[in-house]
Amino acid sequence: MTAAFFIPAATDLVEQHDWLPLDALRETAFLDNGKVILVKPIDKGLIVPFFCPLCTYPMRTADDSMAFRNSGVCNICDLRWLRPYSDSPEWAEGKLPKAITTRRWRAYHKERSLLSKPLMSFQ
């Protein structure tokens, strides 16, 4: 029986194998005499990280994936920070706008911590 794994980032271990095309978007490689199959996207722009680079909370929904591909952050950060402050000169310089580094940012993190908790807990 073979196991398939998705490799989110290209590492030395991953790059040293011969990659064969699987389809138009993915490549495969075989390890341990074909017992383990590695699958990676051809275009590294398709890789969505587990955590948002701005707020560091998990990317949980398809909306987060789509927002990351469009703007580089999760959906909530995109709606709450990126779009309202997109004209800010600080964004153009690669810095956070001053409004983000204040009380509103701490309140936002508190809200995000509540949103990232599971909806149900079993006891």
Terminal-residue alpha carbon distance, the chain: 36
Q: pTM surpassing 0.85?
A: no
Burial category of 17 from C-beta neighbours within 10 Å (exposed 0-12, middle 13-18, buried 19 and up): middle
Burial category of 67 from C-beta neighbours within 10 Å (exposed 0-12, middle 13-18, buried 19 and up): buried
Do 47 and 41 meet the contact criterion of CB atoms below 8 Å apart?
yes
Do 5 and 40 meet the contact criterion of CB atoms below 8 Å apart?
no
Chain center to CA of 32:
29
- For the segment 34-44, the average pLDDT, to the nearest whole number, is 76
Domain residue ranges in the chain: 3-46, 62-115
Do 10 and 44 meet the contact criterion of CB atoms below 8 Å apart?
yes
**Which among 112, 7, 111, 43 is positioned nearest to 17, based on CA atoms?**
7
Which is more confident, 6 or 101?
Answer: 101
Write the pLDDT tens digit of every residue in 40-78: 777 776 678 889 888 888 888 889 989 988 888 899 888
Which is more confident, 121 or 60?
Answer: 60
Residue 116's pLDDT band (cuts 50, 70, 90): low
Which is more confident, 40 or 99?
Answer: 40
Residue whose tokens read 């707020």: 55
User: How high is the pLDDT of residue 63?
Assistant: 92
**What average pLDDT is seen over the chain?**
76
